[in-house]
Amino acid sequence: MLLPEFDIDESRWSGVAEAPAPGRQLAVAQALRALLPADCVLSRDEELHPYECDGLAVFRQQPMLVVLPRTETEVRAVLLACRRLEVPVVARGAGTGLSGGAMPHAAGVVLSLARFDRILQIDPAARIARVQPGVRNLAVSEAAAAYGLFYAPDPSSQIACTIGGNVAENSGGVHCLKYGLTLHNVLGLRGCTIDGEPIELGGCALDAPGLDLLALSIGSEGLLLVVTEVILKLLPKPELAQVVMASFDDVGKAGEAVAAIIAAGIIPSGLEMMDRKATAAVEPFVRAGYDLAAEAILLAESDGTPDEVADEVRAMERVLQANGATAIAVSASEAERLRFWSGRKNAFPAAGRISPDYYCMDGTIPRNRLGHMLKAIERMEHKYGLKCMNVFHAGDGNLHPLILFDANRSGEWERADRFGADILELCVQLGGTITGEHGVGVEKLNSMCVQFSPAERAAFFSVKRAFDPPGLLNPGKCIPTLARCAEYGRMHVRHGQLPHPDLPRF
Amino acid sequence: METRLADWIKGTTQGDSANDILRACVHCGFCNATCPTYQLLGDELDGPRGRIYQIKQVLEGTPATRNTQLHLDRCLTCRACETTCPSGVDYGHLVDIGRAVVESQVRRPLNERLLHWLLREVLTRRGLFGGALRIGRALRFALPRALHAGLGEHRAPGAWPRRTHARKVLLLNGCTQPALAPSIDAATARVLDAIGVQALVDARSGCCGAIRHHLHDQRGALQNARRNIDAWWPQLDSGAVEAIVINASGCTTMVREYAWLLREDPAYAARARRVSDATRDLAQFLGPQLPLLLRCVRPASITRIALQNPCTLQHGLKLKHDVEQLLSALGAQLLPVDEPHLCCGSAGTYSLLQPKLALELRARKLAHLLHAQPQMILSANIGCLLHLAAGTAVALRHWIEWIDELIVTS
Amino acid sequence: MDSALQELRHQVLQAHSASTPLRLRGAGTKDFYGERCEGTLLDMRGYFGVVDYEPSELVITARCGTSLSELEGLLAQHRQFLAFEPPAFGGDPTIGGVIAAGLSGPRRFQAGAARDFVLGAVLLCAQGELLHFGGKVIKNVAGFDLSRLLCGSLGILGAITEVSLKVLPLPRLEQTLQFEMAASEALALFNRWAGQPLPISATAWYDGHAWLRLSGAPPALRTACERLGGELLDAEAASRFWRSLRDQTHPFFGHASTLWRLSLPSTAPQIAGSGSQLIEWGGALRWCASDQPAADMRQRAGAAGGTALHWRGGTAGGRFHSLSPVVLEIHRRLKSRFDPHGIFNPGRLIADL
């Protein structure tokens, strides 16, 4: 056997929707009620139902139970009980995820960490914040502001999403081009293994001995451990930040302008693009002052000392002009800067104003393929008969096409789903990836078959087994099984070559 | 969001309204971030998104339970979620519809029904409430502490202006406020008088209906609304008054709702719309009159002020900065207050019905208000004033009373 | 398949079937680093070359045997660089070795560590498969982050045959300020400055002197220099100085017979018995030429919230700080799954693994 084995419990993996055996719910509920206060275990249908999905509401599954512990001791007790009773555990933060990563398991427990909402410590001298996983992303920066510090990753959902969820997904945001992802801004984690053992990875020092299990845990989508505390790196707040907003009469030109900025040696703190459909959707709500006549707008932020910003803004204006910007505006005040961003940050839900449902994609491609991708998406709009508005983290090639559909109309979701899969497959063909920051969850399992070979997926399962031998943490997410990929029937693609000709056949 | 409403509600006015609102929700969860009860309880069931889901479930045919009712009861209806929602979900109206349906399906235990009835009948009747209040204040020592909140301190109202002006507005002939703090209406009349506006009160009008509305007495609330419309209509229709000006933001919000509440009533729909359109919160009315106001005030002596912006003002009426701008222009130094979007826990009768959560929210709000050591806390709603006053020794006033102090009588 | 890669694969398969250990090695610049390791040499230098480099994408992909000098030379032509400043230790390491060791230079303080710049890696696993993890794009969360797990793994999970790294534009200007001050004062100042929006890209303290390197746009550096004071160092001398820290050619590293590398919270007070010291990374990295017993050093570093690595000298005991039992157990399971016959660098990262 040349391939590492797919050493998992296939039924638990594929049985996300299979109801528990009769009497099972009562037995597990009783076991958990013995460990937690009464208001911490939910078991009635009407209580479980609202937990059936996260921010991606097309994937739904009512859990067997929901637990809402308040302390690490309670989390450990729940994990121990679940391990003993062999109950799958799905950890959940604010439930804002967009890949169904927190979608429950029918025979499992949802472990909500929403009550872990305390900022335990802000140490301005060491520039760190020690927080519980249920703390909202934005709350960290708000608390750090008093010391002139901030927490850099700022996903669009930062008002609501939790740090624990950010760790699970390795969330990015509009400023990660310069400041990095969650991975780059988390110094340490404390959590529990499925065995209820406390585990600490990283810490307040920069290096830790052994393998970098901290890096491995960040973005592991709740499959490896349950996080109960996070040490975050805080950065000094730049003295000034300004946003240059440029309009383009062609989306391709805007894409070229992005490459030109980078090629000029400028790393803007944020570099975002929205197409006309996106600006039209958000403008009525945020009144950001977007140019509604432009086919695309670029938002490029510069931060630093006032002199530095002035310098960089001038340089960016020059590049943008040279690349065909039809209009350029520079934020004149902090309020205006925030207003420019607010449209971008509210772009996803604002899609709810022009369409009952939207499906947000998250592929990443090399920046220079942006124009190619956009043209392809336009063709797909016709193919599937659905509209798609486009929002990008242009600076790092991360696309968020929002496919608009109406779930109440039969067949529309299925078309949206295929539309999305097509986009992701093209991302892989262009040398990119199926998810830049939202995670695989339950949503992109099929696309994982396209991006990774069976041996690579087996390696993922090896990691899973090393942390979680019984396979109880968030089973059925993130990594597809051999059977699932066989059923999906699409081939593994590598950079436009079908399928990996660089490997000898054996 | 996908919806499959049950046949019994599909196609009805309520059903269609609910369906439109539900469809706008994309389940993003931003609302939970600013929901006071979600902050306290950390349970999806106690945040707007979860409540929307619970309502959806009932409207899709799953019978409501006491549990559903509990989580809807815990909602303060502060509508902070609406301010946060990027998809424009009209949560306030959805929760009204949901509560009515749940109320019709689930019978409350006797003690709850009695309490609701008592609050509805006493609070909304000025004579009855005034009497009870006097007795309560006299016997304060004998009452449980939880009830002290509602009592407040009596302050002399001062003289009602006697001048007449060509410009006239109608004030609400309120229910609890005139009994609890008659100084607020008097101060309002005096400030208006100073800028050449005469304040009228129509004796036939009364409680705006918010109390009954929130205590699940929809019929009673609509009766209150119709009575007020009848009372105000002649003066409004003839153009004798330029606006209905209300100095309790909770009541302003309710009167602005008459148009929606009576939209299906052929006899009242058109007039209700006119009344709602003509209704202004006092801050909204005074804002444009600032130049006139600046001519008749002296410099303030109490300047370090913490402003509590009632939810009805900032979320219900979307008047986020109006009072702030007015006070700053008149010389107030407004101190920074954390979590300004969070409800203080008063929320109409909420503080009496959900005392535990209300007190937790009050403590949180007061900590923020007192953080920068203000000389005085100002609010824009009688409910918030009384609720907060019971938790601090720092002076609490309606902002109009602060302005009233500055007026130089000519 | 490239013949050099074929050859590597052949050797791995053979070792796997015979369960004979392999000692993975590039240019051998870090032979001193890690625990003792025995095995047949697997020379990674034969598989080399830059595979893909598009400057406007800020990504470079190179085979494991590519020399650091070649890679950095190519980047420099486009005014870009590896911002984690991998140490060369006076030689010319391979990029595979750089990533397998995961060590970073002075700029780690501001730019991040080697692992922060890893975007993707190809692993030749024990079964002879080439496994692609990560990719060539900056944001990528598909599957577990195995490419970063490989960074610093010292080859115990398999042979890294190719890496994709994020690169950055060279700073437009660099200036170095020198101050005279005691270590404790330097620690306090480093931490205070790090909390302010200053363009500091490296710090060092040694023998009564502190150095600050500023990197960025000329206007920002002008303002910072005015604010910070100190003596401006000649550019040539400054560059030599930082290079000597990065590559450990600075006299401090030559003198010490036994050398400890303490990774501590930057605000940790001075460690007792740390002997002659060189401090980097704003206080988070402290090189100590100390003869204190190993157990004492580890205990003190641990008590301060960090770890102690026995970098050089001494004989008894392991070099790395020990792992907690639960973390060690995960290491064991990972190793046994990726390398069931224990052929890759046995013992190099953890004594009996």
Label each residue of A395-415 as H, E or C.
HHCEEEEEEEECCCCCCHHHH
Same structural domain, C10 and C144: yes
Residue B145 pLDDT: 53
* Residue C110 covered by a domain: yes
Residue written as token pair 């007790």: A77
Cβ within 8 Å, pair B87-A353: yes
Distance (Å) of CA A173 to CA B156, B234, C57: 56, 57, 19
Contacts of B23 in chain A (CB under 8 A): 356, 408
Distances (CA, A) of A326 to A294, A323, C286: 8, 9, 53
- This prediction has a pTM of 0.95
Beta carbons of B3 and A159 less than 8 Å apart: no
C256 and C155 together in one domain: no
pLDDT for the residue numbered A498: 45
CA atoms within 13 A on the CB side of A130: 10
Looking at A111-115, A389-393, B284-288, C200-204, which range is the least confident one? Answer: A389-393
**pLDDT of A331:** 96
Contacts of A462 in chain C (CB under 8 A): 334, 337-338
Distance from CA of A44 to the nearest CA of B (A): 9
Contacts of A352 in chain B (CB under 8 A): 24-26, 28, 86-89
Residue C296, class by beta-carbon neighbours within 10 Å (0-12 exposed, 13-18 middle, 19+ buried)?
middle
Cβ of A462 and C337 within 8 Å? yes
Q: Which residues from chain A sit within 8 angstroms of residue C321, using beta carbons?
A: 209
Q: In terms of CA atoms, which chain B residue is nearest residue A56? A: B27
Residues of B in contact with A37 (CB under 8 A): none
Which residues of chain B does A348 touch, with a Cβ-Cβ cutoff of 8 Å? Answer: 26, 28, 86
Chain A 202-221, residues with CB within 8 Å of chain C CB atoms: 203-213, 215-216, 218-220
C-alpha B92/C-alpha B94 separation (Å) is: 5
* Same domain membership, residue C91 and residue C237: no
Phi/psi at A401 (nearest 5 deg)? Answer: -65, 135
**Cβ distance of A238 and C324 shorter than 8 Å:** no
Looking at CA atoms only, how far is residue A172 from chain C in angstroms?
8
Q: Dump strand ranges (E) for A143-238.
A: 149-150, 186-192, 198-202, 226-233, 235-236
CATH of the domain at C109: 3.30.465.10
Q: Are C59 and C165 in contact (CB under 8 A)?
A: yes
Give kind and range of the element (H or E) at residue A84: helix A72-85
Q: β-pairing, C40-43 with C22-25?
A: parallel
**CATH class of the region B167-286:** alpha beta
Q: Say if residue C327's pLDDT is above 60.
A: yes
Per-residue pLDDT of chain B (410 residues; tens, 9 = 90+): 889 999 999 999 999 999 999 999 999 999 999 999 999 999 999 999 999 999 999 999 999 999 999 999 999 999 999 999 988 999 999 999 999 999 999 999 999 999 999 888 888 777 777 777 777 666 665 555 545 555 566 778 899 999 999 999 999 998 888 888 899 999 999 999 999 999 999 999 999 999 999 898 999 999 999 999 999 999 999 999 999 999 999 999 999 999 999 999 999 999 999 999 999 999 999 999 999 999 999 999 999 999 999 999 999 999 999 999 999 999 999 999 999 999 999 998 899 899 999 999 999 999 999 999 999 999 999 999 999 999 999 999 999 999 999 999 76
pLDDT given at position A494: 63
If asked whether residues C160 and C183 sit together in one domain, one would say no
Q: Which of C146, C197, C331 sits opposite A237 (nearest CB)?
A: C197
CA distance A6 to chain B (A): 35
Q: CA of B398 to nearest chain A CA: how many angstroms apart?
A: 29
- What pLDDT is recorded for position B164? 96
Q: Is A2 in contact with C323 (Cβ distance < 8 A)?
A: no
Give yes or no: residues C141 and C28 share one domain. Answer: yes
- Mean pLDDT to the nearest integer, C297-306: 96
Instruction: Assign A505 a pLDDT band (cuts: 50, 70, 90).
Output: very low
- Please report the pLDDT score of residue A469 as a whole number: 95
A-chain residues near C337 (CB < 8 A): 4, 462-463, 465-466
Question: Hey, what are C158's tokens?
Answer: 């398999």
Fold of B296-406: Rossmann fold (3.40.50)
For B42, the token pair is: 């950390």
Q: Which residue of A has its CA nearest to B49?
A: A50
In A300-429, alpha helices (H): 306-322, 334-345, 347-354, 370-384, 412-429
The yes-or-no reply on B/A contact (3 CB pairs or more, < 8 Å) is: yes
Establish, for the pair of chains A and C, how many residue pairs have beta carbons separated by less than 8 Å.
285
If you count residue pairs, one on A and one on B, with CB atoms under 8 Å apart, how many are there?
Answer: 116
Contact B260, B97 (CB under 8 A): no
CB contact under 8 A, A356 and B39: no
Q: E strands along A221-332, which residues?
A: 226-233, 235-236, 240-248, 270-275, 296-304, 327-330
Q: Is B270 left (phi over 0), alpha (psi -120 to 50) or beta?
A: alpha
How far apart are alpha carbons C285 and C176 in whole angstroms? 19
Q: Does C187 fall in a domain?
A: yes
Whether C140 and C200 map to the same domain: the answer is: no
Contact A47 B27 (CB under 8 A): no
Give domain status of residue C353, yes or no.
no
Give the lowest-confidence range in A170-179, B147-156, C209-218, C281-290: B147-156
Find which of A8, A149, A154, A206 to mutate to test the C interface (most C CBs within 10 Å of its CB): A206
Nearest C-alpha in A relative to C281? A206
DSSP state of A79: H
pLDDT digits (tens, 9 = 90+) for A310-323: 999 999 999 999 99
Choose the weakest-confidence range: A17-21, A30-34, A347-351.
A347-351
Q: Are residues C158 and C196 in the same domain?
A: no
Query: Chain A closest CA to B42's CA: distance in Å?
Result: 5
Q: Do B88 and A353 touch (CB under 8 A)?
A: yes
User: pLDDT category, A15, cuts 50, 70, 90?
Assistant: confident
* Mutation to test the A interface, candidates B27, B54, B82, most A Cβ within 10 Å: B27
> How far is it, in rounded angstroms, from Cα A384 to Cα A5?
39
Do C20 and C160 share a domain, yes or no? yes
- Does ipTM top 0.95? yes
Task: Answer yes or no: same fold for B167-286 and B296-406.
Answer: yes
Separation CA B359–CA B344 (nearest Å)? 9
Give the pair of three-digit tokens for residue A342.
Answer: 């607010």
B4 vs A contacts (CB less than 8 Å): 408
* Touching status, chains B and C (3+ beta-carbon pairs under 8 Å): no
Cβ contact, residue pair A459, C102, below 8 Å: no
C210 and C124 together in one domain: no
Residue A254, pLDDT > 50, answer yes
Q: How far is B321 from chain A (nearest CA, A)?
A: 15
Q: CB of B169 within 8 A of CB of B243?
A: yes
**pLDDT score, position A400:** 93
Can you tell me which residue has the tokens 């969820």?
A: A165
**Residue C320 and residue A462: Cβ atoms within 8 Å?**
no
Q: Given a cut of 70, is residue C93 above it in pLDDT?
A: yes
Nearest Cα neighbor of A377 from A303, A287, A248, A277 is: A277
B83 touching chain A per CB within 8 A: no
Instruction: Give, in degrees to the nearest 5, the angle at Cα A368 between A366 and A374.
Output: 90
Rounded distance, CA C59 to CA C135, Å? 10
Q: Which range has the worst mean pLDDT, A344-353, B250-259, C197-206?
A: A344-353
CA angle, A425 then A153 then C107, to 5°: 100
Which regions of A203-269 does DSSP assign to beta strands (E)?
226-233, 235-236, 240-248
CB-CB under 8 Å, C153 with A211: yes
A157 touches chain B (CB under 8 A): yes
Please report, as a single letter, which amino acid is at residue A86.
E
Mean pLDDT across A269-278: 93
A138 contacts in chain B (CB < 8 Å): 33
H-helix or E-strand spanning residue C119: strand C118-124
**How confident is the model over A21-26, as a mean pLDDT?**
95
Shared domain for C108 and C134, answered yes or no, is yes
Question: Around C146, how many Cα atoms within 13 Å sit in the side-chain half-sphere?
Answer: 28
Tokens of C195: 């909390």
The listed range with the strongest mean pLDDT (A408-412, A480-484, C119-123) is: C119-123
Residue A80 scores a pLDDT above 90: yes
Pairwise CA distance, residues C12 & C160, whole Å: 12
Question: In this complex, is the C-beta atom of A94 within 8 Å of any C-beta atom belonging to chain B?
Answer: yes
Residue B395, number of CB atoms within 10 A of its CB: 14
- Listed by number, the residues of chain A in 326-365 with a beta carbon closer than 8 Å to a beta carbon of chain C are 364-365
- What mean pLDDT, rounded, does chain C reach? 95
Whose tokens are 């911490």? That residue is A40
Q: What is the rounded CA–CA span in Å between residue B47 and residue B40?
A: 10
Query: What pLDDT was estimated at residue A447?
Result: 94
Q: In CATH, what number does B13-105 get?
A: 1.10.1060.10
Please indicate, yes or no, whether residues C165 and C201 belong to a single structural domain of this protein: no
Nearest to B86 among A47, A68, A349 (CB): A349
Cβ-based burial of A488 (10 A; exposed 0-12, middle 13-18, buried ≥19): middle
Helix/strand/coil for A202? strand
* DSSP state for residue C94 in the 8-state scheme: B
Residue type, C137: V
Q: Is A478 on the interface with C (CB under 8 A)?
A: yes
- Looking at residue B149, its pLDDT comes to 52
* A50 with B87: Cβ contact below 8 A: no
Q: What is the pLDDT of residue C257?
A: 80
- Residue whose C-alpha is closest to residue C48's, from C29, C33, C68, C30: C68
Tokens 């005392």 appear where?
Answer: B355
Is C345 part of a structural domain of the chain? no
Supply the pLDDT for residue A502.
41
Count the domains in chain C: 2
Please indicate if any CB of chain B lies within 8 Å of the CB of A411: no
What is the C-alpha separation between C227 and B111, in angstroms, rounded?
A: 70
Q: Which of A386-400, B65-79, C217-231 has the highest mean pLDDT?
A: B65-79
Q: Chain A residue closest to C337 (CA)?
A: A462
Q: Would C84 be classed as within a structural domain?
A: yes
Task: For residues A136 and A150, give the distance between their C-alpha atoms in angstroms, rounded to a whole number.
Answer: 13
Residue B244 to residues A195, A281, B170, B321, B401, Cα–Cα distance (Å)? 66, 36, 5, 21, 19
Instruction: Assess whether C194 and C115 both reside in one domain.
Output: no
Contact A57/B84, CB-based, under 8 Å?
no
pLDDT of residue C343 exceeding 80, the answer is: yes
Q: Tell whether C326 is covered by a domain.
A: no
**Which sequence spans correspond to the domains of chain B?**
13-105, 110-149, 167-286, 296-406
Average pLDDT over residues A345-352: 80
User: Chains with ≥3 Cβ pairs under 8 A against B?
Assistant: A
Determine the structural domain holding residue C59 and report its residue range. 3-169+331-338
